[in-house]
Amino acid sequence: MALENGQKTSPPASRFQLGGDKVVPVNEIVIDNSTSPKTVTDRSVAVIADDVTVTITIRDKTADELDSEATVSAALKATGVYGLLHKLQLAGTFYCVNEIRALNSQTLLTVDAFLSALASFAAQMPDAKFRNKIKALV
Residue 68 belongs to what domain range?
64-137
The pLDDT, as a whole number, for residue 75 is 76
In this structure, are 12 and 49 located in the same domain?
Answer: yes
Mean pLDDT in residue range 49-72:
87
- pTM, full prediction: 0.42
Rounded CA separation 70/24 (Å): 44
**1 located within any domain:** no
The letter for the amino acid at 113 is A
**2 located within any domain:** no
Contact 34, 61 (CB under 8 A): no
Domain count of the chain? 2
Look at 6-20, 107-121, 123-137 and tell me which has the smallest mean pLDDT.
6-20
**3 located within any domain:** no
Beta bridge partners of 49: none
In this structure, are 39 and 89 located in the same domain?
Answer: no
Contact 106, 97 (CB under 8 A): no
The pLDDT-based confidence of 18 (bands split at 50, 70, 90) is: low
In this structure, are 80 and 91 located in the same domain?
Answer: yes
Could you report the per-residue pLDDT of 72-127, keeping only the tens digit for each? Answer: 778 777 777 667 777 788 888 889 999 998 998 999 988 888 888 888 887 887 77
**DSSP-based helix, strand, coil % in the chain, nearest 5:** 45, 25, 30
In this structure, are 131 and 112 located in the same domain?
Answer: yes
